[in-house]
Chain A
Amino acid sequence: MSDSSFNETDKRWQKALEKEREKMPSPELMKNFSSQVVEKIEKREEKRVFKLPEIVSARVFVPVFTMMILASFVVLRLPFESPKSPAIMESIQIGTANASEVEEDIAELRELGAWTEEDEQSTGISSGFEALEIGNDSA
Chain B
Amino acid sequence: MDERWLISQAREGDKEAFSSLVEIYQSRAVRAAFSLLGNLEDARDSAQEAFVKAYFHLNNFRDESRFYTWFYRILMNVCRDFLRTKKFRVFISFWSDKEEEQAIVDKLASQEKNAGQVLENKELGVKIHDALQKLPFQQKNIFSLRYLDGMSLDEIAEATELTLGAVKANLWQACQKMKTFLKAMDVKEVSDV
Contacts and interface: CB of A to CB of B under 8 A. Distances in A.
A6 interface: yes
Contact of B94 (A25, A33, A34, A41): A25
Contact of A34 (B19, B124, B146, B193): B19
A92 interface: no
A52 to B, nearest CB: 17
A1 B20 CA distance: 43
B12 interface: no
A116 to B, nearest CB: 83
B157 interface: no
Contact of A21 (B49, B52, B149, B193): B149
B27 interface: yes
A33 B26 contact: yes
Interface string B122-142: 001100100000000000000
Contact of B99 (A12, A19, A26): A26
18 contacts: A1-B172, A10-B175, A12-B192, A13-B146, A16-B193, A19-B121, A24-B31, A25-B27, A25-B40, A26-B99, A29-B40, A30-B30, A33-B26, A33-B30, A34-B20, A37-B19, A37-B52, A38-B19
